[in-house]
Amino acid sequence: MQVLSAFVSILMFMFIVSVSCTKHIVLKSDTLCPPEYPEHGIPIYKGDIDMMQFPENLEHLEADYFLWSALGYGLDYVAPELVMGGPLPIGAQKANLDFLTRKMIEEFGYQEVGHLRALKTTFGGFPRPLMDLSAKNFAKVFDQAFGYKLVPPFDPYRNSLSFMLASYVIPYVGLLGYVGTNPFLIGARFTLSGADFGRAIGGGSRARCNYKTLPLRTSGEVVHPYNHTVAEFTIQISKLRNRLARCGIRDEGIIVPPWLGAENRTESNVLSADYNSLSYGRSPREVLRMVYGTGNEHVPSAFFPKGGNGRIAKSF
């Protein structure tokens, strides 16, 4: 129990640090604190709108996952105007979390609400898509990752450790989606929205904002009742995402062979990054292949049984 408590406490701290990176938005222009976007730049380029609406699918997923897990209710109660008439998520429920984990996840849920509000206010939005947050769906994902049915079925709502491992599945996909989108954006105003999250992990604060990381000190601990360690869970989920995305290695567990480590010298993997330790990015196609769980952006399933919303997701 002491190991588990330390594991959760350290991971929660890393979550806080990462999410806090989204808050540093300068609103006043002066010589000491200049604006973070060009003074005479294009505020919102028309071609950016679809690209910045697409992440709303992932923000909806994260917001309801965190809120329901911590509070037992979701976006319909906290910020119903952001739902825009979309259907209730399937199988969302309150998780069996310890006090510290619950309070932190509650905060993350509220922060996801802020991300959604920023995106929809800046770029417009669409109704929340149908999402499957049921324990049964998560169990299928972990079975797919390990290549056989786990017994008993994996349940993200069972306890704090199970919840944190399940959290490894979702938010990191959204972060890579932001990094992959940034190079294609033309307008300047996007830096005031949720894209600031992706920009933070892609810039100088990458290592601090990579909140998919599990503490290496617990990597060898066995996750009961399964005969697999924390490290093995992260490795198998990362391998699954790479298989589904079908674009090479852009996802890694917390332990890697040296040739994937920083400067080919480390086996620990606090940050999944390329040869130059720059954050990986994912295209909308890759993101959909992963969250659909089918490896095909044209075939929705898993977390989005009827597919994502918005022009980009609907175009496939």
* Nearest by Cα to 19 from 193, 165, 211, 175: 211
Q: pLDDT for 226-251, tens place per residue?
A: 999 988 998 999 999 999 999 988 88
Domain for residue 187, yes or no? Answer: yes
Q: Which residue has the higher pLDDT, 205 or 60?
A: 60
For range 111-118, the mean pLDDT: 91
Domain for residue 33, yes or no? Answer: no
> How many distinct helices (H) and strands (E) make up the chain?
13, 2
pLDDT over 70, % of the chain? 77
Domain for residue 277, yes or no? Answer: yes
pLDDT over 90, % of the chain? 47
Domain for residue 177, yes or no? Answer: yes
Please tell me the predicted confidence (pLDDT) of residue 36. 62
Domain for residue 32, yes or no? Answer: no
Domain for residue 31, yes or no? Answer: no
Q: Which residue has the higher pLDDT, 70 or 36?
A: 70
What is the residue range of 293's domain?
A: 2-25+39-314
Mean pLDDT (the chain) is: 81
Total domains, the chain: 1
In whole angstroms, what separates CA 17 from the centre of its chain? Answer: 15
**Tokens 């890694």, located at residue:** 252
Q: How far apart are CA 139 and CA 150, in angstroms?
A: 8
Q: Which of 116-120, 146-150, 239-243, 256-260 has the lowest mean pLDDT?
A: 256-260
Which burial class, exposed, middle or buried, applies to 1 when counting CB atoms under 10 A from its CB (0-12, 13-18, 19+)?
exposed
Tokens of 6: 């330390």
Q: Which residues contact 313 (CB under 8 A, 6 or more apart)?
A: 54, 57, 129, 284, 288, 307
